[in-house]
Amino acid sequence: MNSRTLFFCLLYCFYGLLVHSATAQQVGDSTAYYYNKFIKPTNDSDLARAYLYFEKSMLENIENKNFAKAVYDLRSISEIQNRLGLFNESEKSAVEALELLEQMKDDDFVLNSKIGLYNQLGMLYGEQENFLKALEYYDYAMKRA
């Protein structure tokens, strides 16, 4: 094997390591990127693109039984749906996240997620002027805090 062939073999191996490392980091970077897109949308397509990203991620995480990440995805989906005025869908996504939390061991993540989801449901009902239902969910959140 001549030095030129060896150089290209080493370059190819190094490139493979870089791509693998970048792919692992890209998942976290993508989540942060799309989270920012729905928190501070800059154009009309930002919410739709973020929704599609979190929906795909949620389905993959449920399939892989990574329920903690699936709960995060569902919370994000619920918030996006709320911003789009899809109140029934938003409620459904939040309830689905709560159901996933019931399958998990109680810890700080589960507790904080439940509090956040109950608060989110309270805000959702408040926006729909269903204040009694909103207070009920705020009360659930407060009892767990």
* Cα separation, 106 vs 13, whole angstroms: 44
Distances (CA, A) of 21 to 11, 25, 51, 56: 15, 6, 26, 21
How do residues 116-129 score in pLDDT, each as one tens digit?
A: 999 999 999 999 99
Bigger pLDDT: 20 or 106? 106
* Cα separation, 119 vs 60, whole angstroms: 26
Q: Which domains does the chain have, with CATH numbers?
A: 3-144 (1.25.40.10)
pTM of the complete model: 0.77
Bigger pLDDT: 42 or 17? 42
Bigger pLDDT: 115 or 29? 115
- pLDDT value of residue 28: 63
How do residues 1-22 score in pLDDT, each as one tens digit?
A: 544 443 434 334 444 433 334 4
How do residues 73-99 score in pLDDT, each as one tens digit?
A: 999 999 999 999 999 999 999 999 999
In the chain, pLDDT over 70 holds for what percent of residues? 81
Q: Over 60: is that where the pLDDT of 137 sits?
A: yes
Q: Over 50: is that where the pLDDT of 57 sits?
A: yes
Using the structure block, give the residue that is written with the tokens 């989110």.
Answer: 120
Rounded to an integer, the average pLDDT of 19-27 is 44
* Cα separation, 85 vs 113, whole angstroms: 23
Distances (CA, A) of 39 to 50, 76, 101: 10, 10, 24
